[in-house]
Structure 1
Amino acid sequence: MPRREFQPGRLLAGLAFATVAALYLGDAQNLWHIPWFTALPVTTGALFLAGIANAVARAIRRQRGTTEDG
């Protein structure tokens, strides 16, 4: 099986979406109250950080001379 390169942006985005899902799941089970607009700043911030992480990872790969497939 071929190894895949580590993509930190996808990791951050996935963790953020899982966090939003967990927050709204707790709200649906009446464990706590989450305002309806909570997902907007969390996902926007996470996508911003994911973009920065991808840019940094790409710059590091270019500096090392690693080629990208795809």
Structure 2
Amino acid sequence: MLRHEFQPGKLVAGLFLTAAGAVYAGDSGGLWDTPWFVGAPLVVGGLCLSGVVAAVARAVRDRGGT
């Protein structure tokens, strides 16, 4: 298997999208009651945070190479 670069931005995005899916899965399974407006801030916040993490990781990677 070929090795690839670690991309922490994609990891953060995946964690937040998985959390959003788990929240709505729990709601549909009857474990708890989730308001309709919880998903958008969770997804948008996770995508914004993943963008920041990706930018920082790229800056660190570019600076470390010189």
TM-score range, shorter chain: over 0.9
- Corresponding letter in the other structure for 1:39: G
Distance in 2 (CA, whole Å) between partners of 1:59 and 1:20 is 29
Q: How does 1:4-43 map to 2 (within 5 A)?
A: 4-43=4-43
Runs of 4+ with deviation above 3 angstroms: none
| Alpha-carbon shift at residue 64 of structure 1 (Å) | 1.5
Q: Tell me the matched-pair count.
A: 66
1:6-38 deviation line (CA, Å, top 9, x unaligned): 111100110011101111111001110001111
- Corresponding letter in the other structure for 1:36: W
Identity over the aligned pairs, expressed in percent? Answer: 50
TM-score (norm: length of structure 2) = 0.92
TM-score (norm: length of structure 1) = 0.87
Q: Unmatched 5+ residue regions in structure 2? A: none
Distance in 1 (CA, whole Å) between partners of 2:51 and 2:32 is 31
